[in-house]
Structure 1
């Protein structure tokens, strides 16, 4: 199943009146938009953008929540021959100043011909647009008022999507995704997951992030199956509402980062699940950040008695520069863990710090290799940089956003800046290459240590581990957001066990004070640079067991 040759706008010609998108409302119900109604709104939006001065090859920036208007603006831009670019709305950031800096950098990079927002975002984005010299943003509902739909879409633009990287290593970088790359990535995901119109799907993921946009929304709309759409804050307020949707609507496909599974485990009790069934689920795609095997085990232990098959937990790996999906575990196979090194290497586990979850094998027409610092291909089990080649690789970056991530696009393909290893064709992802420290000749990675802290009871999103050389001294720092005394002791035990004689620091900021990307990843290198510059002087102390 899955149609790898399906065009991005083919669904407009065969839009169903029975299938479509269901949006969660405030009354605990759902508002239905059929694909036929969405298709008409797409062509109306395309006409309105044309009337607003948007021309083929221009960029249209979307600053909107998940909504029918977002779908119409995204596909409407394509139907007008323009390039859509989704920018996080203000709700994704806790602090207004952080959001304004982020949005200003993105808008300055893409210089859109039009900025389409929702009412909620208008005031903030109007201020940012004025600061970077752009025209007045337009609210979607006003844009389409009195517009008549185009008879047919214009030819697709060469760049079908401007997609921003997460910015975990610095400023986000604009990535140019061609229409062919976007089409083949969506088609490849359909083949991997066995997508078909009769399989309903559900998501709470934000549509400004590549996992929520390409991995879910575009996949659902282009394939044409029913999609049940919640807002991220719907999920945060009530993960049980999301689980009831999975059960009541017999959902087959959903997706989330490791954090989402962990959040459900913290907020949902087994007694809350009485009467629910999860046996229809074929694929819970887990990506966007390192996957914790303990969380997978505990999640299955919670939902397994209510029908969730272990093989429905599907770890995957991808990146913005690869459009999205690179590798994925086939539904039903069942996830495994591994350690780097050969089978007789007793110290191999020290490279990763903890067991690493396999993220499956490459999707069709993609190749993954592991290379050393000098670019030589490494054999199975050896840790190096993950390099991706084949279809759906981005055409390049838009401008220079000053990323320190080490990710690059070139003749060798996509050098991801991620560390990992291969075992029998399956990819195991450890963490970012720049977020590691060599100890006794072997690398220890920040994400591995964070996983160990989470397993010892320090909640996700409340700690970030930083590793590097500070003033000539190997250093490990635990950055706590709203620290509790027992967390210091746990962090000291973990970091001292893995980092040898490195200097250990505790940086203590208020809850919500860890700088994160719009998708919630800690911006480790940004925090590290601030630490080295003395910006956290009063908040920094030696990390001890007391």
Structure 2
């Protein structure tokens, strides 16, 4: 049956009482919020926004964890005709000073007319907002206290969402997502996955990240299906609870980064899956980071005996500047790998463009390259951002405007499918061939360095090609593993090892390494850690 488009707020008019969102409780239970109850709370938020003078063109910043209040704040701000931005709460940062710098930066860009927080975070957010010259943040409970639901405003064709990038190449950038672009991307995802109200979805990814916010929450609510929502630490603490929910509730769709699958493989032994079934899963949508084929194979081995169809593993590629999804493997198609012309390890394909989106790969002059040839990924289509808030300067190489997104990502096409190598700013040309940091990090993992414990930095330092590895609280054998990998792939470069504490690896709020930030600190002499040569330049010693 064809999947009809839905507007962002259509669910308010046809809220089904027998469907809704279930939020994980710490005691192992779930709090059920049917859609009519969420509708009332959402329209009370809209009333609270109006009572505080929030209107068209204003920004509402939501600094909350995923819960009924967050859902109501997100859709309530849109229902009030405002622009909403989801900002990470303090839990997403390991160090308080890192959080304060991030919050100060994003609030300075967003300049919200209203900031809504969870009660526990008000004390952390209020001082930063005050120093930025902004109005005092409001607790969610105070925002809706004494309000009565009001009809939603007719949202203009302006910005519905101010979405912040992960900041892997520097500070986060504020991306303006028009209402029409947000609706277009959500509906393209729904059509691609054939989402219907009878298809339950589970999500644990944080809602300050585009994949968690749009793929793991907004798409659920717009569709009107049942959603099972966990906090990130719920998944980290008990991944078996996540798997048991899929089995017991016959969940069909689950967005997930590669890291999540790898974590399940490490933490859940096969014997713990006795009695569970995963034949209901139609798609585990894999995005946000490079996908490791060994992880996909391991996940098939773990869950396959319990009914998982390998076609349910659904790689995808996206960008904050494209709202979210750009390409996705079609349902019922098995994932595959391919290598670009000229070598390098095979990569997992990220599928084909979703409806309303175009993808091409171009050379440095902007001309399309043949199939199999590496170049920059360029995106067009209805889901693109209208531009950036604040300054557009960045070290990432990404830009959007005039209906074109230059992603700053390197990739190639093969028979219409997109394969992604990594960031163009995170590469080094060696003997006429580009080597990418993500490829080196994947090799580190293959040889025993855990994911997210090592970051590769590549560039030219003091006039010399340089390859460095930053190791977080390493075991004694990691430096030798890194030396062998770097010597194999970038033998003509100066090779360095940098040892930092467990929390010393600079990462974004979604856990991605901030390679450009660490590289700049290395060049400036401000990178904290023990720095030592790994091997003489040009030796290529194995």
CA–CA distance in 1 between the matches of 2:184 and 2:415? Answer: 25
User: Using a 3 Å threshold, how does the CA distance of structure 1 residues 120 and 402 change in structure 2: closer, same or farther?
Assistant: farther
1:190-229 to structure 2, matched below 5 A, reads 190-229=190-229
Distance 1:400 1:235 in 2: 36
Contact map agreement 2:381 2:403 (CA 8 A) in 1:
no
Structure 1 residue 16 and structure 2 residue 7: aligned? Answer: no
1:103, distance to aligned residue in structure 2 (A): 0.7
1:521 aligns with 2:521: no
Instruction: Provide, for residues 319-355 of structure 1, a one-character-per-residue CA deviation record: whole Å limited to 9, x for no partner.
Output: 00001100000122110000011xxxxxx223xxx21
Matches within 5 A, 1:142-541: 142-156=142-156, 158-341=158-341, 348-350=342-344, 354-400=345-391, 402-411=393-402, 413-536=404-527, 539-541=530-532
Identify unmatched segments of 5+ residues in structure 2.
536-540
Q: Matched residues in 2 for 1:23 and 1:156: separation? A: 31
Query: Partners of 1:226 and 1:118 in 2: how far apart?
Result: 24
- CA deviations on 1:467-497 (whole Å, 9 max, x unpaired) are 1111111111110110111111111111100
Quote the offset at 1:543 in angstroms. Answer: 1.9
How many residue pairs end up in the alignment? 537
Q: In structure 2, what is the equivalent of residue 344 of structure 1?
A: none
In structure 1, list runs of 5 or more residues that go unmatched.
342-347
- Structure-2 separation of matches of 1:260 and 1:88: 19
Residue 14 of structure 1 aligns to a residue in which SS? coil
Q: Secondary structure at the match of 1:543?
A: strand
Q: Compared with structure 1, are the counterparts of its residues 232 and 541 closer, same or farther at alpha carbon in structure 2 (3 Å cutoff)?
A: same
Q: Match of 1:485, SS?
A: coil
**233-242 or 393-402, which deviates more:** 393-402
The whole-number CA distance in structure 2 between the counterparts of 1:306 and 1:457 is 28
Alpha-carbon deviations, 1:369-395, whole Å to 9, x = none?
A: 000011111110000000000111111
State the alpha-carbon separation in 1 of the partners of residues 121 and 254 from structure 2: 27
Residues in 2 aligned to 1:53 and 1:3: alpha-carbon distance in whole angstroms: 38
The DSSP-based 3-state class of the residue aligned with 2:429 is strand
Cα distance in 1, alignment partners of residues 246 and 392 from structure 2: 39
Query: Are 1:171 and 1:402, in contact at CA under 8 Å, matched by a contact in 2?
Result: no
| Cα distance in 1 for residues equivalent to 2:4 and 2:524 | 50
**8 Å CA contact 1:83, 1:157 repeated in 2:** no
**Cα offset for 1:52?**
1.5
Structure 1 residue 401 displacement after superposition? 5.3
Distance 1:335 1:437, change over 3 A: same
| Whole-angstrom distance in 2 between the partners of 1:260 and 1:195 | 23
**Mapped partners of 1:37, 1:163: distance in 2:** 27
Q: Normalized against structure 1, the TM-score is what? A: 0.97
Residue of structure 1 equivalent to 2:88: 88
Q: Distance in 2 between matches of 1:403 and 1:81?
A: 30
Distance 1:152 1:77, change over 3 A: closer
Task: For 1:537 and 1:441, locate their aligned partners in 2 and report how far apart those are by CA, in whole Å.
Answer: 32
Whole-angstrom distance in 2 between the partners of 1:5 and 1:543: 56
Shift of the 538–328 alpha-carbon distance from structure 1 to 2, 3 Å rule, reads closer
Using the TM superposition, name which of 378-387 and 298-307 deviates more. 298-307
Query: Aligned partners of 1:142 and 1:534: how far apart in 2?
Result: 47
Cα distance, 1:455 vs structure 2: 1.1
Q: Distance in 1 between matches of 2:528 and 2:126?
A: 36
Partners of 2:381 and 2:49 lie apart in 1 by: 34
Distance in 2, matches of 1:538 and 1:110, equals 34
d(CA) in 2 for partners of 1:444 and 1:468?
Answer: 10
Q: Partners of 2:502 and 2:154 in 1: how far apart? A: 49
Q: Give the Cα–Cα distance (whole angstroms) in 2 for the partners of residues 181 and 411 of structure 1.
A: 14
**How far off is 1:537 after superposition?**
6.4
Mapped contact 1:57–1:157 kept (Cα < 8 A): no
For the Cα contact (< 8 Å) 1:82–1:156, is it kept in 2? no
1:57-76 Cα shifts (integer Å, max 9, x gaps): 21000000000000100100
Instruction: Name the CA shift for 1:223/1:2 in 2 (closer, same or farther; >3 Å).
Output: farther
Task: Please report the RMSD computed on the Cα atoms of aligned residues, expressed in angstroms.
Answer: 1.3
Q: Distance in 2 between matches of 1:372 and 1:64?
A: 42
Aligned to 2:125: 125
Q: Deviations over 1:5-63 (max 9, x none)?
A: 21100110000111000000011000000000000111111001111221122100000
